Amino acid sequence: MAEISIEEIKRLRELTGVGITDAKAALVESDGDFDTALAAMRKKGLTKAEKRGEREARAGVIGTYNHDGRIGVLVEVNCETDFVARNELFTSLVKDLTMHIAASNPEFVSKEDVPAEIHDAKIAEFKDKAKSEGKPDNMLDNIAGGMVHKYFAERILLEQPFVKNPDQSVGDYVKENIAKLGENIVVRRFSRMALGEVSE
């Protein structure tokens, strides 16, 4: 049987978020093959991605992107450990997010970040629009609901189609990285500035 070092156990634990016992068991099962153990733990971790969303994520990085000196982006992306914050996959995710924000100009990170008064004002606006177009009263709520969903999906970062792969949303791209890295990842906030833009 291959010799399993405590360093490898710790490394596997850091990469996957599993306990020391699970990390050691995975290395024993794979006869000391770190990559096989890592793959097995990540596969197992895919089923736990939703639970990871509940875990505290306070490590991470603030990513920056400057496009031709005309558009600047700052984004804070959190993970659970400094180890993952330094991981190439994580830093690549952060870079992709800054570039996406520069290109797509979202207004909010998630649905939860949309202020209730803005959401309600849009519902009222779309209801009035549908009514003025002669839509029946009993259909107004459904029509306005659909229009509001589409309106905010274009303005919410996690719901926008990801610029590098429009077949998936930014939120799904983040989840994909949660599964790969084995840690909760949270896009906390962002700021985008364009040259000559006047803030309201």
Predicted confidence band at 199 (pLDDT cuts at 50, 70, 90)? Answer: low
Mean pLDDT within 57-64 = 90
Which CATH superfamily groups domain 59-110+156-194?
Elongation factor Ts, dimerisation domain (3.30.479.20)
pLDDT at 47: 47
Overall average pLDDT of the 159-173 stretch: 93
pLDDT of residue 51: 57
Rounded CA separation 117/182 (Å): 37
Q: Among 42-56, 66-80, 85-99, which stretch is predicted with the lowest mean pLDDT?
A: 42-56
Question: Domain extents for the chain?
Answer: 6-47, 59-110+156-194, 115-153
Give the residue among 188, 181, 156, 183 at the shortest CA–CA distance from 170: 156
- In what helix (H) or strand (E) does residue 59 lie, and over which residues does it extend? strand 59-67
pLDDT of residue 92 exceeding 50, the answer is yes
- State pTM to two decimals: 0.68
Give yes or no on whether 59-110+156-194 and 115-153 have one common fold. Answer: no
Share of the chain above pLDDT 90, in %: 39
**Class of the 115-153 domain?**
mainly alpha
Mean pLDDT of the chain: 86
Fold of 6-47: Helicase, Ruva Protein; domain 3 (1.10.8)
End-to-end CA distance of the chain: 67
**Confidence at 43, pLDDT banded by 50, 70, 90:** low
